[in-house]
Structure 1
Amino acid sequence: MRAAMNLLLIVLLALNLRPMLTSIGPLLEPVRQSTGLGYQQAALLTALPVLCMGLVPLLQPWLRRWLSEHGGMLGGLMAIAAACLWRWQLDSAWALIASAVVAGLGVAVVQGMMPGLVNRWFPTRLATTMGLYSAALMSGGGLAAVLGPSLTAYTGHWQVGLGVWALPALLALLAWVALRPRQEAPTLGGASGGHWFGNRRAWLLALYFGLINGGYTSMVAWLPAYYLEHGGTAQGGGELVGLMTIFQVAGALGLPLLLRRLNDRRPGLWLALTIQLAGFLGLLLAPSAAMGLWVAMIGLGLGACFSLSLTLTLEHLRTPAEAGSLAAFVQGVGFIVTGIVPYITGWLRDVSGDFQASWTLLACTVLLMLLVTACFAPRGYAKAIARSDQPGVAPALS
């Protein structure tokens, strides 16, 4: 019974970590017309929350001195709900950008704790549970992308399509209060160690996580606009994001389950990256021929990459506390990188006049990550992540 309630909590929490990002793209044109946002300003609606997702976990070694896990979760969910309620009635570009920062801070706190929770609650089913967490996270994003335009069309106000996501945040808040385990909760992040700024493998894992997932934030930000440029509609753009999400969920759940007997995550990552690369090449070479197919392939690869890369990080260390600390660092640096990517791809769209340069950059990034994946042999985890004898301090770069 306890395990079932923990799984329910993981799903409810994860469902709230992407709607504030994915609800924007399908409604970008009415938002831009109403507020006067340019493409680069609109990129801030994705980039700033993702940057918050990066900066907050990096502060966890200091935050955990005064903020408990329970307090952090309550504050994070309240921030998400408050930002969405604010969006329900705002009408200016800068208020919209400010709401993105508030929501991003809330997501950052909740998301930073999730790998540690999964590792602590399900240590013997790590890969499968991380797949479920990733699938729920992506499902929430897909629902927001698909339902946002429908709610906007029904009510006549794009603010409703952005603000309604306060409701699942409030539901998750109530569920956390009622169902969370009552044993003494660890401090924020659940880690006993210090920071990882001096550890080379931690930096490699962080940059890998950031670049391997950079395609997600770019697709969420620009796929609906790309579809509009090819004669589609806002509703159709949202449905494309929904299609991508369906295959993300399939990738996040299916590939880890299929390869659950393997201790080596590299075959799964190579397969997921290859599928993702094929999808970006399809967008480059024949976008109109089978756009749905290319988007589905990108989604399948992205979903599997997110789940497997986080699992890869957690498996570098044996104790949940240390693994949670490392995962917080990897997500911190990684999401900063991931947040920068859509800003760069939006800038490339502005200067080139179309999205081909953006897709080219993402394809090259995936190709580079295919090569980097070779570094992550399981037999080398302990040596690569070895820390100094001083507790809580990562070894210095040399």
Structure 2
Amino acid sequence: MSDEPQTLEPARTAPPAQAARVAAEGGRGTGPAPWVARLVVVGLVLAALNLRPAITSLGALLEEVRADLHMSGSVAGVLTSVPPLCFAVFGITAPRLARRFGPAAVVGAGMAAIFAGLAVRPFATGTAGFLAASALALMGIAVSNVLMPVIVKRYFPGRIGTMTGLYSMSLALGTSLAAAATVPMTEALGGSWRLGLGVWAVLAVLAVIPWIPLVRDRDRARRERSEGAHDAAPASGTAPASGTAPASGTAPAAAPGRITRSRTAWALACFFGLQATGAYITMGWMPQIFRDSGVPATTAGLLLAVTMVMGVPLAFVIPRLATRLRTQGPIVVALGLCGVTGYLGLFLAPASGAWVWAVLLGVSNCSFPLALTMIGMRSRTGTGVVRLSAFAQSVGYLISIPGPLLVGVLYQHSGGWDLPLALMAGLLIPQMLMGVLAGRDRNVEDEI
């Protein structure tokens, strides 16, 4: 990713990270036209609603899909690891695509890919076709995942916390809605898993519509590229024109470097990966933990829904709070301690305190919107956010792949949940450490 050019800006009189934080807290620029801003808000909400139903709807009907397609248990296990793998592999292509076509066009294409994958998947007659259609939808989710913080930075630079909270809340709503509604809808449609999965393509096609006119709104992108080229000229060693001098208090911008040279980028990637590990473990295994402790299956499903729905209000509150703090470390620690307490409760009294532990784990899982907010705050330019978002999410999702599988192996070989729960709680320690490092008041441009 080092060969991707970066939009450069002159240094500011205030420290760069402080200036970025002030902008995130409420600074106002010229901004997009009002109709564009309203359309982007609608597009963000609809896009976020579609970033998880392809995954959680399948989880609700996995047993029926396995039986009908004659899918082995090992293949089904691989299927549960496909989402983070696709997020890592396809997400890394987002910066190059956004640079060539514009972020709005790529997100619109991502929504179209989700629609196509969800529409084709019910017609699969074998495992290979089903996996291919799922991968198409996940590819659209991957590039859109990476570019959501970029869209916010581009169109709402003065409202990063608010807009990140809005689409994070919508993402949590889409996740819980698909998990809770897929089975009832399938039963209402005659019991066919094909209809139960295919109905989510309707929501996906609606998400394509707002991005179509936004693709035509390219003046902002062209202007940013033009300004970036102008600002980058001094960095290449070209002297200023005769009779000109840098403005007081400014300095030439530094040339772009490798994102991998930034310690903050690595800390953010590790924090993102560890919180994703916890989220996938929770979604995949928490109902089984409750069922093994004597909780009825229907109640275990409701407990999972409670955990996921906690992200709806908190995903709106936490990003706004994060942009008002100099460092985000205290929020990271508070969320991590909620998770540790929840896992400790599952170890000591899984059934009697089930609802409390579900709520605490739901609060802990809100590290996801916090990570997205920090991506927008740790770079001062839109292009920098593209690179940081792609790096943090791609590396992070690679980190998250082994977690759910390792929990399953420990559960199978130990015959209980003591070791898996110890692992889940233990992973929160490095998560808090990496989050504190990622939440420091600095920008990746200053480190590379």
**Do these two structures clear the TM 0.5 threshold for a shared fold by scoring above it?**
yes
Do 1:244 and 1:296's aligned partners in 2 also have CA atoms closer than 8 Å?
Answer: yes
Q: Of 189, 193, 196, which residue of structure 2 is paired with 1:161?
A: 196
Partner of 1:326: 388
Do 1:27 and 1:149's aligned partners in 2 also have CA atoms closer than 8 Å?
Answer: yes
Partner of 2:432: 370
Provide the secondary structure at the position in 2 that maps to 1:378: coil
Spell out structure 1 runs of 4+ moving beyond 6 A.
none
Does residue 371 of structure 2 align to residue 336 of structure 1?
Answer: no
Q: Which amino acid aligns with 2:354?
A: M
Partner of 1:46: 80
Aligned-partner Cα distance in 1 for 2:323–2:98: 33
Aligned-partner Cα distance in 1 for 2:311–2:100: 36
Partner of 1:349: 411
Aligned-partner Cα distance in 2 for 1:350–1:237: 20
Partner of 2:144: 110
Deviations 1:116-142 (A, max 9, x none): 001111111112211111111111111
Does residue 316 of structure 2 align to residue 283 of structure 1?
Answer: no
Partner of 2:316: 253
Q: Which amino acid aligns with 1:160?
A: L
Does residue 277 of structure 2 align to residue 214 of structure 1?
Answer: yes
> Larger deviation: 157-166 or 24-33?
24-33
Do 2:303 and 2:358's aligned partners in 1 also have CA atoms closer than 8 Å?
Answer: yes
1:107 positional shift: 0.5
Aligned-partner Cα distance in 1 for 2:66–2:300: 16
Provide the secondary structure at the position in 2 that maps to 1:288: coil
Q: Of 2, 11, 23, which residue of structure 1 is paired with 2:57?
A: 23
Q: Which runs of 5+ in 1 are unaligned?
A: 388-394
Aligned-partner Cα distance in 2 for 1:234–1:177: 43
Partner of 2:446: 386
> Larger deviation: 352-361 or 80-89?
352-361
Do 1:84 and 1:162's aligned partners in 2 also have CA atoms closer than 8 Å?
Answer: yes
**Residues 138-153 of structure 1 mapped to structure 2, 5 A cutoff:** 138-153=172-187
Do 2:105 and 2:214's aligned partners in 1 also have CA atoms closer than 8 Å?
Answer: no
**Residues 111-126 of structure 1 mapped to structure 2, 5 A cutoff:** 111-126=145-160
Deviations 1:260-304 (A, max 9, x none): 53222111111111112211222222221122321221111212x
Aligned-partner Cα distance in 1 for 2:257–2:54: 31
Aligned-partner Cα distance in 2 for 1:165–1:365: 34
Do 1:45 and 1:100's aligned partners in 2 also have CA atoms closer than 8 Å?
Answer: no
Do 1:50 and 1:339's aligned partners in 2 also have CA atoms closer than 8 Å?
Answer: yes
Does residue 129 of structure 2 align to residue 95 of structure 1?
Answer: yes
Q: Of 36, 56, 69, which residue of structure 1 is paired with 2:90?
A: 56
1:210 positional shift: 0.6
Provide the secondary structure at the position in 1 that maps to 2:327: coil
Do 2:161 and 2:322's aligned partners in 1 also have CA atoms closer than 8 Å?
Answer: no
TM-score (norm 2): 0.77
Q: Which amino acid aligns with 2:308?
A: T
Q: Which amino acid aligns with 1:294?
A: W
Q: Which amino acid aligns with 2:194?
A: Q
Aligned-partner Cα distance in 1 for 2:344–2:71: 30
- 1:46–1:203 distance in 2 versus 1, CA, 3 Å: same
**Residues 132-281 of structure 1 mapped to structure 2, 5 A cutoff:** 132-154=166-188, 155-178=190-213, 182-184=217-219, 186=221, 196-230=259-293, 236-258=299-321, 260-281=323-344
Partner of 2:9: none
1:95 positional shift: 3.4
Q: Of 374, 378, 386, which residue of structure 2 is paired with 1:312?
A: 374
Partner of 1:391: none
- 1:38–1:200 distance in 2 versus 1, CA, 3 Å: farther
Do 1:22 and 1:221's aligned partners in 2 also have CA atoms closer than 8 Å?
Answer: no
Q: Which amino acid aligns with 2:198?
A: G
Aligned-partner Cα distance in 2 for 1:175–1:79: 15
TM-score (norm 1): 0.86
> Larger deviation: 118-127 or 231-240?
231-240
- 1:194–1:112 distance in 2 versus 1, CA, 3 Å: farther
Aligned-partner Cα distance in 2 for 1:185–1:73: 16
Deviations 1:39-84 (A, max 9, x none): 5533333321221111223234544565443442233122211221
Aligned-partner Cα distance in 2 for 1:315–1:33: 46
1:333 positional shift: 0.8
> Larger deviation: 84-93 or 283-292?
84-93
- 1:308–1:149 distance in 2 versus 1, CA, 3 Å: same
Aligned-partner Cα distance in 1 for 2:290–2:314: 23
> Larger deviation: 193-202 or 206-215?
193-202
- 1:362–1:166 distance in 2 versus 1, CA, 3 Å: same
